[in-house]
Structure 1
Amino acid sequence: TTLLDALRKTSVAASEAGGITQRIGAFEVVTPTTSRRVTFIDTPGHAAFSGMRRRGASVTDVVVLVVAADDGVKPQTLEALQQARDARVPIVVAVNKIDKDNANIEWVKQQLKDLDLRDAKQGGDTLVVEVSAKEHVGLDDLEEAVVQQADQLTLHADYKARAEAYILESGLGDGRGRVLSVLVKRGTLKVGDYVVCGTHSSRIRQLLDHARRPLSSSRGATPSTPVEVVGLTGVTPKAGDFLVVVRDQKTAGTITRMRKRAEEMRQLEESDQTSAVTRDVLAFKKHVLEGKGVHLKSPNLHKKMMTKAYHMPGESDADLIDAEDQSLQQEHTPTHTDDQHEGREGLEEDGGSQPAMPESFAAAEGQQLGLVIKADNYGSMEAIKDYLDQWTAKDEQRRDRFALVSSGVGAVTEADVEKAAVSNSFVLGFNVEPLEGSRVHQLLHRHKLIFRKHEIIYKLFDDLEALHDFHFGPRYLIKTVGRMIVTRTGDYTVTNRDKSKEVRTVAGVDLKEGRAAAGNDYFYKITRRSVVIAEGLNVLSMSVQGKKATEMPKGEGAIIFKVHDDVQPGDEIVCYENKERPPLFGQLNIPKFLEANKL
Structure 2
Amino acid sequence: MRRPGRTGGRRGAQGRPRRKQAPPARRGRDGARGSRQDRLLDYIRKTNVVEQEAGRITQHTGAYVAYYDDKPLVFLDTPGHEAFTAMRARGAQITDIAVLVVAADDGVMPQTREAIDHARAAGIPLIVAVTKTDLANSNPDRVKAQLAQHGVAVEGYGGDALCVETSAMTGEGIDALLDALAVKALELDLKAPYDGPAQGVVIEARVDRGRGSIATILIQEGTLRRGDPFVAAEYHGRVRDMFDENFKRLDEAPPSIPVQVLGFSGLPQAGDRFDVAEDERTARDIAQRRYLARRDMILASTRSRVTLESFQEQIAEGQTRELRIVLKADVSGSAEALRDSLEGLSLDEVKVRVIHTGVGPITRSDVLLAEASVAVIVGFHIKALPDAKVLADRDGIEIRTYRIIYTAIDDIRAAMLGLLEPEEREVELGRAEVRKVFRLPRQDAIAGSYIVSGKANRDALVRVFRDDKEIAVTRVSSLRRFKDDVKEVDTGYECGIGLADAQDIDEGDILQFYTIEQVSRAPTRK
Report the TM-score, using the length of structure 1 for normalisation: 0.59
Q: Tell me whether 97-106 or 40-49 shows the greater mean CA deviation.
A: 97-106
| Residue equivalent to 1:458 | 406
* Residues 358, 200 of structure 1: alpha-carbon distance in 2 compared, 3 angstrom cutoff: farther
Verify: 1:398 aligned to 2:350, yes or no. yes
* Residues 416, 360 of structure 1: alpha-carbon distance in 2 compared, 3 angstrom cutoff: farther
1:273-328 superposed Cα distances (whole Å, 9 cap, x missing partner)? x9xxxxxxxxxxxxxxxxxxxxxxxxxxxxxxxxxxxxxxxxxxxxxxxxxxxxxx
| Structure 1 residue 64, shift from structure 2 partner | 0.4
| Structure 1 residue 67, shift from structure 2 partner | 1.1
| Residue equivalent to 2:176 | 141
Instruction: Indicate the SS of the match to 1:195.
Output: strand
Q: How does 1:296-335 map to 2 (within 5 A)?
A: none
Instruction: Indicate the SS of the match to 1:52.
Output: helix
Q: CA RMSD in A?
A: 3.3
Match of residue 84, structure 1, among 103, 119, 144: 119
| Residue equivalent to 2:283 | 252
Match of residue 387, structure 1, among 324, 334, 341: 341
1:218-244 superposed Cα distances (whole Å, 9 cap, x missing partner)? x311211111112211x4422222211
Verify: 1:357 aligned to 2:305, yes or no. yes
Match of residue 63, structure 2, among 26, 46, 51: 26
1:245-300 superposed Cα distances (whole Å, 9 cap, x missing partner)? 12322443455567679x59x97xxx9xx9xxxxxxxxxxxxxxxxxxxxxxxxxx
Inter-partner Cα distance in structure 1 for 2:290 and 2:379: 33
| Residue equivalent to 1:8 | 45
Verify: 1:72 aligned to 2:107, yes or no. yes
Instruction: Indicate the SS of the match to 2:224.
Output: coil
**Cα pair 1:27 1:210 within 8 Å, conserved:** yes
Instruction: Indicate the SS of the match to 1:166.
Output: strand
| Structure 1 residue 409, shift from structure 2 partner | 2.0
| Residue equivalent to 2:72 | 37
* Residues 355, 188 of structure 1: alpha-carbon distance in 2 compared, 3 angstrom cutoff: closer
| Residue equivalent to 1:193 | 228
| Residue equivalent to 2:238 | 203
* Residues 385, 257 of structure 1: alpha-carbon distance in 2 compared, 3 angstrom cutoff: closer
Verify: 1:100 aligned to 2:135, yes or no. yes
Q: How does 1:532-551 map to 2 (within 5 A)?
A: none
Instruction: Indicate the SS of the match to 1:432.
Output: coil
* Residues 360, 65 of structure 1: alpha-carbon distance in 2 compared, 3 angstrom cutoff: farther
Q: How does 1:124-139 map to 2 (within 5 A)?
A: 124-139=159-174
Residue type matched to 1:13 in 2?
A: V
Higher relative CO (Cα under 8 Å, sequence separation at least 6) belongs to: 2
Q: Which has the higher strand share?
A: 2
Match of residue 259, structure 2, among 215, 220, 227: 227
Number of aligned positions between the proteins: 386
| Structure 1 residue 355, shift from structure 2 partner | 5.6
1:354-399 superposed Cα distances (whole Å, 9 cap, x missing partner)? 963368999777565442221222222222222222211xx31123
Match of residue 160, structure 1, among 195, 198, 205: 195
Inter-partner Cα distance in structure 2 for 1:371 and 1:259: 25
Verify: 1:414 aligned to 2:364, yes or no. yes
Residue type matched to 1:380 in 2?
A: S
Verify: 1:445 aligned to 2:393, yes or no. yes
**Cα pair 2:205 2:333 within 8 Å, conserved:** yes
Instruction: Indicate the SS of the match to 1:396.
Output: coil
Match of residue 206, structure 2, among 150, 171, 174: 171
Instruction: Indicate the SS of the match to 1:98.
Output: coil
Unaligned runs of 5+ in 1: 275-353, 476-561, 567-577, 582-599
Q: How does 1:45-60 map to 2 (within 5 A)?
A: 45-60=80-95
| Structure 1 residue 207, shift from structure 2 partner | 1.1
**Cα pair 1:363 1:405 within 8 Å, conserved:** no
1:508-554 superposed Cα distances (whole Å, 9 cap, x missing partner)? xxxxxxxxxxxxxxxxxxxxxxxxxxxxxxxxxxxxxxxxxxxxxxx
Inter-partner Cα distance in structure 1 for 2:116 and 2:391: 47
Inter-partner Cα distance in structure 1 for 2:284 and 2:374: 41
1:177-199 superposed Cα distances (whole Å, 9 cap, x missing partner)? 22211111122212211012234
Inter-partner Cα distance in structure 2 for 1:186 and 1:12: 29
| Residue equivalent to 1:242 | 273
Instruction: Indicate the SS of the match to 2:349.
Output: helix
Inter-partner Cα distance in structure 2 for 1:360 and 1:231: 41
**Cα pair 2:323 2:350 within 8 Å, conserved:** no
**Cα pair 1:164 1:245 within 8 Å, conserved:** yes
Residue type matched to 2:410 in 1?
A: D
* Residues 134, 251 of structure 1: alpha-carbon distance in 2 compared, 3 angstrom cutoff: same
**Cα pair 2:322 2:350 within 8 Å, conserved:** no
Instruction: Indicate the SS of the match to 2:217.
Output: strand
* Residues 442, 198 of structure 1: alpha-carbon distance in 2 compared, 3 angstrom cutoff: closer
1:2-50 superposed Cα distances (whole Å, 9 cap, x missing partner)? 211121111111110010011110111111xx32210111001111111
* Residues 406, 35 of structure 1: alpha-carbon distance in 2 compared, 3 angstrom cutoff: closer
